[in-house]
Copies of this chain bind each other. A is one copy, B any other.
Amino acid sequence: MTTPPPSPLAPLSPTDRTTATRGRHRMVEDRAALHALLAEAMVAHLGLVVGEGDEAHPVVLPTAYAADPEGPDEGGTLYLHGSVAAGWLAPVLAGQVCVTITLLDGLVAARSGFHHSMNYRSAVVVGRPRLVRDEAERARALDLVVDQVVPGRSATLRPHTRKELAATAVLALPLVEASLKVRSGGPVDDEPDVAAGVWGGHVPLRLVAGDPVPDADAAGLPVPRDVAARAAALGDR
């Protein structure tokens, strides 16, 4: 395991564990691109190992997250949170985790089944998470998790209560052992299939938002500016 320099803008330094054995040409060694993906996405897939010996098996759970390029950990910090009663908390703290964050950017319709593919950006982070104990960092991390989904929203809400904070575990994962893999553009086809005059191309995909839907208790209240801005930013363009 190599140790990259601590600057959050240093190139990624993938280790054996985060380096793809296939498709190395799709690895992007660009910390800015990593942080751009982490800023754009909203869902992470958290992998942990449960059980021991022959019974050991992985579990992969979707979860909210927040990325803080200026966080206190080497390379910046990826924050996860969960209930202190969550069953995955103990195994996560006992070992290492892998957090993968993927955005699907398109379908690639090649001239053969073999070359069909998808366009995507995917970050893989492996490491041993730190249980955040400092109350100021915990509150800030939870605000970042809210702001990841609706930028600016945490500043408009009441502060976290002591009871809420006590019920919530916050985990920090250094963004040091991280890699980014990107595929974009059209298919890479075999020459005979191209020569045969078969169509090939791609279909761009993006996540879009509809209009905000107030719940029954919010009927008649104006949509907050942060929520409206988020929906507009993700809206049909």
Contact = CB atoms under 8 A, between A and B. Distances in A.
Interface in A179-199: 185-187, 189, 193-194, 197-199
Interface string A199-210: 111111111111
Contacts of A64: 116-118
Interface stretch (A4-12, A32-40, A67-75, A226-234): A226-234
Nearest to A156: B198
Contact of A200 (B61, B116, B206, B218): B218
Contacts of A61: 100, 122, 124
Contacts of A142: 113-114
Measured as residues with beta carbon below 8 angstroms from the partner, the interface class of chain A is 35 or more
Interface in A117-166: 117-118, 120, 122, 124, 126, 142-143, 145-146, 149-150, 153-154, 157-158, 160-161, 164
Contacts of A17: 50, 57, 59
A10 to B, nearest CB: 23
Nearest to A189: B217
Task: Give me the 8 closest cross-chain CB pairs, A-B, nearest first.
Answer: A21-B87, A186-B215, A47-B58, A47-B60, A57-B96, A204-B210, A60-B100, A45-B45
Given A49-B58, A203-B210, A206-B210, 17 more contacts: A42-B104, A47-B47, A47-B59, A49-B56, A56-B95, A58-B60, A61-B122, A62-B122, A113-B142, A113-B143, A114-B160, A116-B145, A185-B215, A201-B213, A201-B214, A203-B213, A208-B236
